[in-house]
């Protein structure tokens, strides 16, 4: 039996025990008031349960938010560390680039100086004419065959076999191997077998 039913029984017993109209009216009013209070109590209990449920849901959301904030903080720290590393690498790269540019400038300056020095001996056009004039005879007079190694150029070969890396000398080798090398004397590859012709008399005198 519920508490409300017990209350009703008590009031009913009181009603049965009295015969006065006023007393019965008072009992009925008290009974009505008790029912109203019980309803309010039930409603309050329901609201309290709902409030507790909402509080629990809010606590869960708060915990999830705190977890996300913690993860975001970790990600932010990692991103900041990666950014610092990238900035450091960028600084190093810029420094390396500056060094490389300086090296290029220095190389260009050296090449300019070499070209100026070469012009003192013979112009490029004269060198070509000398080499072409002696190419036919040079092709039939081979003093050696050289297999190119990595990083070797015609200048290396002319220095090795003729004692000079200047253009008149390496062009003699180029003209003797033009069919193998092609139109660009700078496009030689490791593994090419280069014929070394006899040095023309015109260059032996220089």
Residue 31 lies in a domain: yes
- Selection from 192, 162, 196 nearest residue 176 by Cα: 196
Name residue, tokens 């900035």.
87
User: In angstroms, how far is CA 190 from the centroid of its own chain?
Assistant: 35
Cα 162 from Cα 39, distance rounded (Å): 119
Token code pair at residue 188: 């030689």
Asked if residue 112 lies in contact with residue 150, where contact means CB atoms within 8 angstroms, the answer is: no
Token code pair at residue 78: 């990692």
Residue 92 lies in a domain: no
pLDDT tens for 138-182 read: 455 899 999 999 999 999 999 999 999 999 999 999 999 999 999
Residue 81 lies in a domain: no
> Which of 4-13, 19-28, 117-126 ranks highest by mean pLDDT?
19-28
Q: What is the pLDDT of residue 83?
A: 81
DSSP class of residue 149 equals P
Query: Cβ atoms within 10 A of the Cβ of 115, count?
Result: 11
Residue 169 lies in a domain: yes
| Residue 173 belongs to domain with CATH number | 3.10.350
Token code pair at residue 38: 């019980």
> Which of 38, 63, 88 is the C-terminal boundary of a domain?
63
Res 104 pLDDT > 50: no
Higher pLDDT, 161 or 132: 161
Name residue, tokens 């660009």.
184
Token code pair at residue 118: 């070469």
pLDDT tens for 56-103 read: 898 888 888 888 988 988 888 888 888 888 888 878 878 775 775 676
For residue 15, the enclosing domain spans 3-63
Residue 68 lies in a domain: no
Cα 153 from Cα 131, distance rounded (Å): 17
Residue 181 lies in a domain: yes
How many independent structural domains does the chain possess? 2
């Amino acid at each position: 039996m519920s508490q409300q039913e017990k209350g009703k029984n008590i009031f009913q017993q009181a009603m049965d025990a009295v015969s006065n109209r006023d007393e019965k009216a008072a009992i009925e009013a008290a009974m009505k008031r008790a029912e109203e209070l019980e309803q309010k109590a039930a409603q309050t209990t329901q609201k309290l349960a709902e409030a507790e449920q909402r509080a629990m849901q809010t606590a869960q959301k708060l915990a999830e938010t705190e977890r996300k904030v913690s993860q975001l903080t970790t990600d932010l720290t990692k991103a900041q560390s990666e950014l610092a590393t990238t900035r450091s690498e960028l600084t190093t790269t810029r420094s390396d680039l500056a060094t490389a540019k300086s090296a290029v400038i220095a190389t260009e300056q050296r090449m300019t100086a070499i070209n100026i020095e070469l012009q003192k001996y013979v112009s490029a056009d004269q060198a070509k004419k000398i080499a072409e004039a002696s190419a036919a005879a040079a092709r039939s007079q081979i003093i050696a065959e050289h297999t190119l190694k990595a990083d070797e150029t015609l200048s290396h070969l002319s220095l090795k076999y003729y004692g000079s890396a200047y253009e008149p000398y390496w062009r003699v080798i180029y003209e003797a191997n033009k069919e193998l090398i092609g139109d660009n004397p700078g496009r030689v590859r490791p593994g090419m077998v280069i014929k070394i012709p006899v040095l023309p008399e015109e260059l032996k005198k220089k």
